[in-house]
């Protein structure tokens, strides 16, 4: 059974930092695109960041460029989201996602490109 488990969320003041982790189990994702999405109350789930299998190609939403960094460790079957200079508008539940396909070039920004999802971790940024 495939599982994605996020961790690292919490409460932080504006300007602070957090690093989210996503540990995958049940199969390897070393040849798959993985991503992070977030959903704030009353809003749709939105793309945050994605990374291809090699780690050489990353994608970031305009709203987080320069502040967030996505990385992965294929040996650990894990993906990370480092967040700095956090803003109150970053408050949301953050979800890890993974594409079931190998070496797929599906649009990494598209929520429909992902087949597996974690349960989410809450990030709250206070002003």
Q: Check residue 68 and give its pLDDT.
A: 98
Q: How far apart are CA 49 and CA 37, in angstroms?
A: 7
Q: How far apart are CA 48 and CA 11, in angstroms?
A: 19
DSSP SS3 for 111: helix
**pLDDT in 10s for each residue of the chain, 127 residues:** 999 999 999 999 999 999 999 999 999 999 999 999 999 999 999 999 999 998 889 999 999 999 999 999 999 999 999 999 999 999 999 999 999 999 999 999 999 999 999 999 999 999 9
């Amino acid at each position: 059974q495939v599982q994605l488990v996020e961790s690292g969320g919490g409460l932080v003041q504006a300007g602070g930092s957090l690093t989210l982790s996503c540990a995958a189990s049940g199969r390897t994702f070393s040849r798959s695109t993985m991503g992070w999405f977030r959903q704030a109350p009353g809003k749709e789930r939105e793309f945050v960041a994605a990374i291809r299998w090699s780690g050489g190609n990353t994608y970031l939403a305009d709203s987080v460029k320069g502040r967030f960094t996505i990385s992965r460790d294929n040996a650990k079957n894990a993906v990370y989201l480092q967040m700095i200079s956090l803003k109150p508008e970053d408050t949301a539940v953050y979800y890890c996602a993974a594409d079931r396909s190998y070496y797929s070039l599906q649009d990494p920004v598209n929520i429909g490109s992902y087949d597996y999802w974690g349960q989410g971790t809450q990030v709250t940024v206070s002003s």
